[in-house]
Amino acid sequence: MAKIVVALGGNAILANDASDTAQKKAVKATVKALINFVENGGQLIITHGNGPQVGNLLLQQQAADSDKNPAIALDTCGAMTQGSIGYWFQNAMQEELVLRKIDKSVVAMVTQTIVAADDPAFHQPTKPIGPFYEEAALKGLQEKPPDWQMMEDAGRGYRRVVPSPQPVEIKEYPAIKKVIEAGIIPIISGGGGIPVVKSGDQLIGTEAVIDKDFSAAKIAELVEADQLIILTSVGGVFYRFGKPDQEEIFDVTAKEIQKHIDADEFAKGSMMPKVKAAVQFVKKTGNPAVIGALDDVRQIITGDKGTVIHQ
């Protein structure tokens, strides 16, 4: 039985309409495409990002009242987006399973990802979250507290950036493994997992957003996936992205694309983590990884679209 890990980007889910209706619609369309794989007997493992969603939720915290209704911290906001996006997937998948008369269960699992307390990323925020701002709008930004750090995001405008430590361990993996063995479709590690650090016997939530591309690669390695599929809002990976001579990559070895990673050719916070995560998975398992558009998921599964990175 083929096993794939599918990771959906937060920006792909929230393309240009931040309403929950529009995001549910995007999730539903993806699920409709993924269900064929399940119908053909494949084991599907779903994970997703939360960058735009968790940033929007943090903005909503600014309406908080410090006494009666205090603002919620970033780790808990991450957990809340795991819950909301997980619910959209679970709900859409359940509907589709019933429609197709497939006797399978699906479950969204709250997942904590252990990170190192001394990860240098805590001192160098790189993870873009929330909405995009035009450069001119930055100065007068009403809601921007002085401690926010902003970064240009792949030619699309400026976004707030927060620390993004590397995933070390998926705390709930033993339970996830049992769910997979039972043939249940798991929706796991949303937003890269809730970042927690070890303190003695405790796990303490920390102010960060893990890159779901790295946690997806880790999960794909752990479950020995046949393929890692990273779905985003662009058809594939490009060399010289956004330049007049940009070139789409259709098929590339991990060794070849590693040279372009080493030359720092991909945008930080957007395409670089995807390419690095894909290469990490290919090198560890020998199996291929594909990066492509959410809308092309059917053709990506059949190998007809997206950028394939292989051994």
Ligand X SMILES: NC(=O)OP(=O)(O)O
Q: Which residues bind ligand ADP (CB under 6 A)?
A: 9-12, 49, 51, 154, 156, 232-234, 237-238, 241, 266-267, 270-271
Q: Is 163 in the site for ligand X (CB under 6 A)?
A: no
Is the Cβ of residue 23 or residue 270 nearer to ligand ADP in the bound state?
270
Least distance (Å) between residue 211 CB and ligand X: 4
Least distance (Å) between residue 144 CB and ligand ADP: 20
User: Active-site residue among 9, 55, 86, 127?
Assistant: 127
Buried b (16+ CB within 10 A) or exposed e, 15-31: eeeeeeeebbebbbebb
Residue nearest to ligand X (CB): 49
Least distance (Å) between residue 96 CB and ligand ADP: 22
Is the Cβ of residue 10 or residue 186 nearer to ligand ADP in the bound state?
10
Catalytic (active site) residue 11: yes
Catalytic (active site) residue 127: yes
Is the Cβ of residue 171 or residue 212 nearer to ligand X in the bound state?
212
Q: Is 211 in the site for ligand X (CB under 6 A)?
A: yes
Catalytic (active site) residue 91: no
Choose the stretch contacting ligand X; rule: CB under 6 A; options: 50-58, 137-145, 154-162, 218-226: 50-58
Q: Reduce the secondary structure of the chain to three states and give it as a string.
A: CCEEEEEECHHHHCCCCCCHHHHHHHHHHHHHHHHHHHHCCCEEEEEECCHHHHHHHHHHHCCCECCCECCCCHHHHHHHHHHHHHHHHHHHHHHHHHHCCCCCCEEECCCEEECCCCCHHHHCCCEEEEEEECHHHHCCCCCCCCCCEEEECCCCCEEEEECCCCCCEECCHHHHHHHHHCCCEEECCHHHCEEEEEECCEEEECCCCCCHHHHHHHHHHHCCCCEEEEEECCCCCEECCCCCCCEECCEEEHHHHHHHHHCCCCCCCCHHHHHHHHHHHHHHHCCCEEEEEHHHHHHHHCCCCCEEEEC
Is the Cβ of residue 97 or residue 196 nearer to ligand X in the bound state?
196
- Residue 192 interface partner, choices ligand ADP, ligand X, none, CB cut-off 5-8 Å depending on type: ligand X
Choose the stretch contacting ligand X; rule: CB under 6 A; options: 9-17, 95-103, 197-205, 237-245: 9-17
Is the Cβ of residue 196 or residue 209 nearer to ligand X in the bound state?
209
- Residues designated as active site: 10-11, 127, 212, 274
The site for ligand X (CB under 6 A) is made up of 9-11, 49-52, 191-192, 209, 211-212
